[in-house]
Amino acid sequence: MKLGILGGTFNPVHNGHLAIAEAVYNSLQLDKIYMVPAYNPPHKENEKIIDFEERVRLLELATDSYPYLEVSRLDHTPGSVSYTKHLIERLKEKYPDASFYFIIGADIIPQLSSWYDYKWLLDNVTFVALPRGDFEKVDYWNLDYIEKIQSIDMDPVNISSRMIRQKLARDEDISALVPSVVAEYIKQNNLYSQ
């Protein structure tokens, strides 16, 4: 079994996340992709993050029409920081015979060495990098782990959760950036309001 993992804060989920998942699913012929919202991400300390359950609900709404996408609560770890290694360990327990493909933006490649026990991660998952803005894999040819990174070719998606939050703070339309059910849920529940 080939399982993809698209982790992130998903604060909120947007069309870019869905496009990335679809591209990797089709390119690598995966069986399933888990969308895994981080409960307490160590790299987002200064960011205002809405409640975990609200982010899960937004993901469930966004992925409802994608049979190969499944929202996972495996990173629901109250009281502790969400480390990718612990997530992978939990997935390996659940699916001992599976191969795991962890999806990242190319801009994350140089940061991997700062991740908790990153060498273990490089030995236990295949990192799949997608273009992000001006970042290209070739920029990092001198990193000692670059050969362990698999690249997927797709046009960069110029949408970010931060951009959406900024638009919401200015009461601007986000309907082109997120699925309509997500936009409606955010509006009805007054999420991200100042």
Q: What tens digit of pLDDT does each residue of 82-131 get? A: 789 999 999 999 999 999 999 998 888 888 999 999 999 999 999 999 87
What is the overall mean pLDDT for the chain? Answer: 89
Pairing of strands 2-8, 126-130: unpaired
Most confident of 15-19, 80-84, 142-146: 15-19
**Average pLDDT score over residue span 42-52:** 73
Residues for the chain: how many in total? 194
**Average pLDDT score over residue span 157-180:** 93
Tokens 């999420």 found at: 191
CB distance 69 to 63 below 8 Å: yes
* Strand arrangement, sheet containing 149-151: 69-71, 32-37, 2-8, 99-105, 126-130, 149-151
Shortest CA distance to 5 belongs to which of 27, 41, 31, 42?
A: 31
CB distance 37 to 9 below 8 Å: yes
Q: What is the pLDDT of residue 28?
A: 97
Considering just the CA atoms, what is the radius of gyration of the chain in Å?
16
Tell me the angle at which helices 52-63 and 180-188 cross, rounded to the nearest 10 degrees.
150
Looking at the chain, list the stretches that DSSP marks H as alpha helix, in order from N- to C-terminal side.
Answer: 15-28, 52-63, 84-94, 118-124, 161-169, 180-188
Which of the two residues, 179 and 192, has the higher pLDDT score?
Answer: 179
Quick check: helix, strand or coil at residue 8?
strand
Bond preceding residue 78 cis, omega within 30 of 0: no
**Residue ranges per structural domain of the chain:** 2-158
Q: What is the pLDDT of residue 47?
A: 67
Going by pLDDT thresholds of 50, 70 and 90, the confidence category of residue 80 is confident
Residue 155 has pLDDT above 90, yes or no: no
Going by pLDDT thresholds of 50, 70 and 90, the confidence category of residue 43 is low
Q: What fold, for 2-158?
A: Rossmann fold (3.40.50)
- Number of CB atoms found within 10 A of residue 119's CB: 13
Going by pLDDT thresholds of 50, 70 and 90, the confidence category of residue 76 is confident
